[in-house]
Amino acid sequence: MARQMIRPMTDLMAEYWTFRGMTLNLPLEGLTVKVKVLDVRQRWNVLDALVTPVSGSGEKWIEARRLEHPIINNDEREKGETPI
């Protein structure tokens, strides 16, 4: 079985940083909400995104892996994880 290379957190952070300002989908209790990514941060070994709804108000820090995006979701599959 081939060994998978896990990219260092700093490489992932650099990719996630480019998501600032993007509009992505956030699955939420049976709904899909469009959110805008305001900021990204690294917390221990977790990447978080500060999001705000496109329609509505408020903002919240969430784990970035919860967002629907090909790069995010592919990284999680490579690690054997599934987005929440």
21-77 confidence digits (pLDDT tens): 899 999 989 999 999 999 988 888 788 999 999 999 999 999 988 988 766 555 544
SS3 71: helix
| Torsion on CA atoms 20, 73, 66, 54, rounded to nearest 10 | 50
**pLDDT at position 11:** 59
Q: Spell out the domains of the chain, with CATH numbers in brackets.
A: 9-78 (2.30.30.140)
Using CA atoms, how far apart are residues 55 and 70, in angstroms rounded to an integer? 23
Question: Hey, how many other C-beta atoms are within 10 angstroms of the C-beta on 25?
Answer: 14
Residue 14: predicted pLDDT = 60
Residue pair 37/20 in contact (Cβ under 8 Å)? The answer is: yes
pLDDT at 57: 95
- The pLDDT value recorded for residue 82 is 45
- Tens-place pLDDT, residues 68-84: 876 655 554 444 444 44
